[in-house]
Amino acid sequence: MPLALHPLQAARQPLLHAVRTLSPLRRYLHIEPLSSHEIRRRFLDYFAQNNHTIIPSSSVVPHNDTSLLFVNAGMNQFKHVLLGTEAPRHRRVANSQKCIRAGGKHNDLDEVGIDGRHHTYFEMLGNWSFGDYFQQEACTLAYHLLVDVYKLPKSRLYMTYFGGDPEVGLQPDFECREIWRRIGIAESQIIPRGMDDNFWAMGEEGPCGPCTEIHYSMDGSAEKLLEVWNLVFMQFNRTRRGILEPLTVKHVDTGMGLERLVAVLQDRQSNYDTDLFLPLLQKIPELAGTPPYQSKFGDDDHEGLFTAYRILADHARMCTVAIADGMLPDKRGAPYVLRKVLRRAALTWSNKLHSDPLLWAQLVPTIVQSLGPAYPEIAEREAVIQATITKEIEDFKGIVDKGTKAFGKIWQKLENKMVLPADKMYELYRQFGVPEEVIFGLARGRNMGCDAKGFYLLMDQERVKSREGLARKKEQVAQ
C-alpha cells in the first residue's frame, strides 16, 4: 500500500532537502534542527498515517512480570502477544516507550556519563506488526521515515542483515538484502553479520528471528557507524532443546532509541549535546556554582567534572520517571535500585561538585518541561517527585553523617590503619546502615584500603542465613 507522508514533506523543495543534509551549510544559514518534541511527534504521526494504532507508553514499573526490574524495551507490554498466549488488540501498533536499564540483565548504570550514548532512562520509538505486514513493508516504512520525513541522506545509511549460521542450520537472509537493494541502498552499504549482531531472541527459548539494523554514518564512511534502528522479523520459536521451529504467525518488532535519533538529526556527536540533556547540563553548574558544562570525555575531562554532570543529568531523568510511575525508594528489588541511583547522585553531587546534594532535586522542573508534554503523568506528579527525592537525600545525608562519626571512632581504635577490616566494614554496613560505596569513600579519605573480599563474604553469609530463616518460617506456617 502507498506510504502516507506528512503534508509538508511533499511540498519541500529539493534545495531545502540538500540544505538539511549538509551540516556546515545548515549552521551557516542558521537553520534550526528539529526539536526532540517534533522528532517524537513526527514518528508517531507517520505511523498513524500508515494505519498504525498509537498507544501510550506503559509504566516503567512492570506489572505481572517478575522477570523484569523495570520495563526496558518497547516490546515488554507485547510479550504475551509475541509468545502467542494473548491475542493482539491491534494488528499494527506504534508508540514511544519509557525505558529504564539499571540493574538486572540489562544494566547500563556503570556506563552512564563515560560515553555519549548510554543512559539509565531512555525512550524507545517502535512499530509492530502482529501477523500483518512483514519484511518488505517494515523496511520500506523505516526507509521512508528516515529519508522522506526526517530528511537523512541515503548515502549515510548502512544496513546490516543476518548472514546465516550453518551451526544452527540457518541460511543468510537474502530476502532482506534484496529488499534493501530494491529500495535503492547501494551494495556497499548492505552488510551481512552473524548471530550475535543480527539475530534477536526474547530469551533462551521462545520467539526469535533475524533482524536488520539501520546504521547512520557519522562521518560519511563505513568506519564510524551508529546503530539507530533495529527491525526484528520474528519467524521462529526456539524450543528448550534449542530447535528453531517456524512460527505459524510472523511478527515485526522494531526499536529506535529516541536519544540517538535526536543526536543524529540535531547533528551532535553525543546524546548529551541535544535538547534532551543540555537544559539539565546548564542548570547543574548554575545550581552548584561550578564551571559551565563542556562536552569533554575521557582524558579530556581531567577531573571528571563533566562526566559527573552527565551522570547527574541522566540519574535525574531516571528517578523522575520512575517516581512519576509510582515507584518509591525501598530496600529490595527495583525500589532498591531507585534508592541506589538516588544515593549515587547525592554522592556525586557532594564529592564532585562540593555542593549540597539537596540542590539536585531542583532539576525536576527542567525535566518536567522536557518530558511533560509527551508524558503528562510526569507533570502531574511534579510536587510528589521533588518531595520524594528531597526526603530520600535528607535521610541519606543523615546516614552518611552518622556513618562518618562511627567510622572515625573505628579508625581511632585500629592498630593497622592501612586496611579497613571486613568485620568493621560490615559493622558500618549492618549496624549503621552505611552503603558500601560510602564505606569505600570514607576509607579512601583516610588513605586506607578495604578488605572488600572479606566484606562481601560476610554479606553472602548473612544472605544465606536470611534465606534459611525465611524457609524455616514458611515450614512452621505450613505445619
> Which three-class secondary structure string do you get for 211-232?
EEEEEEECCCCCCCEEEEEEEE
Cα(218)–Cα(269) distance, integer angstroms? 8
Q: Taken in order 254, 255, 260, 266, is the CA torsion positive or negative?
A: positive
| 192 φ/ψ angles, rounded to the nearest 5 degrees | -80, 145
Find where cell 563474604 sits: 457
Lowest mean pLDDT among 41-55, 251-265, 464-478: 464-478
What residues are paired with 162 via a beta bridge?
A: 193
Quote the pLDDT of residue 427: 92
State the DSSP H helix or E strand holding residue 437, giving kind and residue range, or none if neither.
Answer: helix 436-445
Q: Could you tell me which residues come within 8 angstroms of residue 477 by beta carbon, excluding any fewer than 6 positions away? A: none
Nearest to 211 by CA among 166, 255, 155, 249: 255
Find where cell 525505558 sits: 99
> Looking at this protein, which amino acid is placed at residue 335?
P
Q: How confident is the model at residue 17 (pLDDT cuts 50, 70, 90)?
A: very low
Cα(295)–Cα(20) distance, integer angstroms? 24
417-461: per-residue pLDDT in tens?
Answer: 899 999 999 999 988 888 888 899 899 888 999 999 999 999 999
State the DSSP H helix or E strand holding residue 425, giving kind and residue range, or none if neither.
Answer: helix 422-431
Q: Could you tell me which residues come within 8 angstroms of residue 269 by beta carbon, excluding any fewer than 6 positions away? A: 116, 218, 263, 295
349-368: per-residue pLDDT in tens?
Answer: 998 999 999 999 999 999 99
Residues of CATH 3.30.930.10 domain(s) within the chain? 7-265
Nearest to 71 by CA among 35, 45, 96, 38: 96
pLDDT value at 414 more than 80: yes
Q: Sort 433 into a burial class: Cβ within 10 Å, 0-12 / 13-18 / 19+.
A: middle
Cα(109)–Cα(114) distance, integer angstroms? 10
199-251: per-residue pLDDT in tens?
Answer: 998 778 888 999 999 999 998 888 899 999 999 999 998 888 888 888 889 99
Quote the pLDDT of residue 19: 41
Quote the pLDDT of residue 31: 66
Find where cell 547533528 sits: 267
3-state secondary structure of 1: coil
Domain spanning 7-265, CATH class: alpha beta
> Looking at this protein, which amino acid is placed at residue 404?
T
Cα(334)–Cα(102) distance, integer angstroms? 9
